[in-house]
């Protein structure tokens, strides 16, 4: 069954974007230290958060086209008491700012003068599907760097809550926005924003009785996984009472090891589905840790090939695990 994701780089979701805009607005109203920086920041507020453009125009600052310089500018501003939110636009552009993020910002609170308050910086970037240079997912790279938190919300409520938490948490948070999750995935969900979501806490998305498999995912792979599990339940003999515990990680660092291990104690089967390259990825780290600490657990992983992303967005969509591959993996336990 090959049903590739419809990947149109110009058809991004709006609900996650709106949730982030609402979180920024609410946080900025409560904390005058928060400022927005980025290429076209003033223009972006016009589309993403018009209430900020209308009420707080002096705290959205358009900077030159220099991702590395902009992050370093934010580091300097943080030393003066500002809480910068730096918009890098697409995740691919983060490569341009690796030195300023990993070698400067991440170390800021570890080399400060004794007695100085800790600094807070949030760096935003979108995941898109626009080909080999505008469709990459570097989240695993940043999880490797001490001093960085890394989050990938997959719902509007989580996007709002994690942004509010990031803005109130000392240190540097890399905030990824998975803009290729279609708004239709949120039909029937409670979209009302309900406050902060803690870092390092996963979310149980589906639970049907005592799950026979614990399934982990995040970001774009989460809706693929949920659809596969819904169809799988319709296909199985209900008298067997098969089910799966589905965990949306939300936070990649810190990660919710407690939740993962709790549900693995119920079934001993772990399926990891990630929207990124499998080699050296988030799933590899989880699998290695579980192998060391819970060697009885049976583990399977699905992810993306270590290959250059095709220029055609539709072909990019075929790199993701399919519904049939997910179902086959579950049934193989």
pLDDT tens digit string along 156-170?
Answer: 999 999 999 999 999
- The β-bridge partners of 84 are 35
Instruction: Please tell me the predicted confidence (pLDDT) of residue 2.
Output: 39
**What's the domain count of the chain?**
2
CATH number at residue 326: 3.40.50.920
Instruction: Indicate whether 130 pLDDT > 50.
Output: yes
Residues of the chain with pLDDT > 90: what percent? Answer: 65
Q: Which residue has the higher pLDDT, 115 or 20?
A: 20
Between 156-167 and 15-30, two packed helices, what is the crossing angle to 10 degrees?
A: 30
Which of the given ranges, 93-107, 108-122, 185-199, 224-238, has the highest pLDDT on average? 93-107
Decide if pLDDT at 314 tops 90: no
Are the C-beta atoms of 246 and 207 separated by less than 8 Å? yes
Nearest residue to 22 via CA among 188, 172, 139, 191? 191
Element (H, E) at 290: helix 282-293
Helix, strand, coil share of the chain (percent; to 5): 45, 20, 35
> 162 and 28 in one domain?
yes
In a domain, 271, yes or no: yes
Q: Answer whether residue 79 is part of any domain.
A: yes
Specify if 95 maps to a domain.
yes
**134 and 219 share a domain?**
no
Domain range enclosing 249: 203-331
Residue 103 and residue 225 share a domain:
no
50 or 188, higher pLDDT: 50
Q: pLDDT class for 1, splitting at 50, 70, 90? A: very low
Instruction: List, in sequence order, every beta strand (DSSP E) within the chain.
Output: 34-38, 60-62, 83-90, 120-127, 148-151, 171-178, 203-206, 213-217, 244-248, 251-253, 269-277, 298-304
In this structure, are residues 137 and 167 in contact, taking their beta carbons and an 8 Å threshold? no
Asked whether residue 3 is assigned to any structural domain, the reply reads no
Rounded to 10 degrees, the C-alpha dihedral 319/323/325/329 comes to 130
Residue 288 in this model has a pLDDT that exceeds 60: yes
91 lies in the same domain as 27: yes
Stronger pLDDT, 72 or 227, i.e. the higher one: 72
Task: Check whether 5 has a pLDDT greater than 90.
Answer: no
- pLDDT band of 324, cuts 50, 70, 90: confident
Q: Which residue reads 């370093």 in tokens?
A: 72
pLDDT in tens, 233-251: 666 555 445 578 899 999 9
pLDDT band at 154 (very low <50, low <70, confident <90, very high): very high
Q: Are residues 40 and 168 in the same domain?
A: yes
Does residue 195 sit within a domain?
no
Residue 50 is assigned to a structural domain of this protein = yes
Residue indicated by tokens 């989050």: 151
Residue that finishes a domain, picked among 186, 219, 235: 186
What is the C-alpha to C-alpha distance for residues 313 and 275, in angstroms, rounded to an integer?
Answer: 15
The mean pLDDT of 21-37, rounded to a whole number, is 96
66 and 180 in a single domain? The answer is yes
Residue 333: its pLDDT value, please?
86
- For 91, 135, 187, the CA distances from 139, given in Å and listed in that order, are 9, 12, 27
What CATH number has the domain bearing residue 94?
A: 3.40.50.970
Contact assessment for residue 150 and residue 141, using Cβ atoms and an 8 Å cutoff: no
Last residue of a domain, one of 132, 153, 186: 186
Tell me if 53 sits within 8 A of 60, measured CB to CB: yes
Q: If pLDDT is split at 50, 70 and 90, which confidence band does 119 have?
A: very high
List all residues 6 or more positions away from 132 whose beta carbon is below 8 Å from its beta carbon. Answer: 308, 309, 310, 311
Q: What is the pLDDT of residue 327?
A: 87
Percent of the chain with pLDDT strictly greater than 70: 92
């Amino acid at each position: 069954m090959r049903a590739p994701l419809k990947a149109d780089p110009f058809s991004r979701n709006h609900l996650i974007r709106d949730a982030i805009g609402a979180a920024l607005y609410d946080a900025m109203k409560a904390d005058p230290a928060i400022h927005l920086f980025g290429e076209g920041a003033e223009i972006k507020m016009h589309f993403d958060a018009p209430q900020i453009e209308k009420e707080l125009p002096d705290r959205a600052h358009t900077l030159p086209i220099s991702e590395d310089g902009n992050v370093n500018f934010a580091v300097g501003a943080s030393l003066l008491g500002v809480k910068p939110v730096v918009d890098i636009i697409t995740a691919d552009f983060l490569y341009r700012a690796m030195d300023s993020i990993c070698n400067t910002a991440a170390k800021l609170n570890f080399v400060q003068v004794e007695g100085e308050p800790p600094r807070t910086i949030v760096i935003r970037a979108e995941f898109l599907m626009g080909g080999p240079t505008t469709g990459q997912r570097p989240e695993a790279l940043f999880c490797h760097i001490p001093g960085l938190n890394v989050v990938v919300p997959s719902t509007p409520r989580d996007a709002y809550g994690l942004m509010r938490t990031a803005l109130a948490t000392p240190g540097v948070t890399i905030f990824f926005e998975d803009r290729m999750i279609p708004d239709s995935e949120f039909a029937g969900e409670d979209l009302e924003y309900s406050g902060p979501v803690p870092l390092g806490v996963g979310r149980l998305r589906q639970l049907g009785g005592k799950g026979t498999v614990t399934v982990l995912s995040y970001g774009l792979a989460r809706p693929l996984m949920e659809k596969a599990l819904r169809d799988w339940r319709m296909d199985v003999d209900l008298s067997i009472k098969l089910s799966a515990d589905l965990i949306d990680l939300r936070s990649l660092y810190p990660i919710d090891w407690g939740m993962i291990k709790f549900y693995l104690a119920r079934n001993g089967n772990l399926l990891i589905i990630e929207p990124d390259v499998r080699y050296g990825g988030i799933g590899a780290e989880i699998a290695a840790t579980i192998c060391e600490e819970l060697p009885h657990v049976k583990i399977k992983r699905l992810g993306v090939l270590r290959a250059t992303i095709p220029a055609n967005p539709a072909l990019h969509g075929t790199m993701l695990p399919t519904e049939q591959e997910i179902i086959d993996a579950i049934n193989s336990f």
